[in-house]
């Protein structure tokens, strides 16, 4: 079983999101963490899992949701796709609006113990913090969203 210490809940909350790269079979996967608990002190209905981990791709189009230097755009408990504005629930991964409506982000198993976040997904092996360079996509996507960031 994979059980790698990634970061702390405090770091994820402070930055708004946190990303790492992992190996699944022969492929590298980008993963990002976002806060999930309802209250900053970890109280509320989701306090048992104060952060969630998701594959770093919009379900509508092969688009990063977390970008280096920017992080994941979040609003009202949702992660927003910077290209089309679809909003994914940060705790459940489900989308009920925009181009990705009716889809759910792929979750990655993590556990919080003593304020630290551990990768516990048997299918992934941690490689490094952050995302790989991706041949010039650092400027971000062209947006067709009605939302401005």
pLDDT tens per residue across span 56-77: 999 998 899 999 999 999 999 9
Which of the four pLDDT bands, split at 50, 70 and 90, describes residue 55? very high
Residue extents of the structural domains in the chain: 4-131
The string of DSSP letters for 1-19 reads: ---EEEEEHHHHHHHS-EE
pTM: 0.84
Q: Which residues contact 149 (CB under 8 A, 6 or more apart)?
A: 73, 80, 82
Cα 119 to Cα 104: distance, rounded to the nearest angstrom: 20
At the topology level, CATH places domain 4-131 in Rieske Iron-sulfur Protein (2.102.10)
């Amino acid at each position: 079983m994979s059980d790698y210490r990634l970061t702390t809940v405090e770091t994820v909350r402070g930055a708004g999101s946190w990303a790492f790269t992992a190996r699944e079979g022969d492929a590298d996967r980008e993963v990002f963490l976002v806060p999930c608990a309802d209250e900053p002190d970890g109280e509320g209905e989701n306090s048992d899992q104060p952060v969630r981990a998701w594959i770093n791709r919009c379900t509508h189009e092969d688009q990063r949701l977390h970008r280096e230097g920017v992080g994941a755009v979040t609003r009202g408990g949702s992660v927003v796709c910077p290209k089309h504005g679809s909003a994914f629930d940060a705790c459940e991964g489900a989308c009920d609006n925009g181009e990705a409506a009716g889809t759910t982000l792929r979750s990655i198993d993590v556990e919080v113990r003593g304020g630290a976040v551990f990768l516990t997904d048997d299918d992934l092996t941690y490689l490094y913090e952050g995302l790989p360079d991706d041949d010039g996509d650092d400027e971000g996507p062209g947006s067709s969203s009605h939302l401005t960031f």
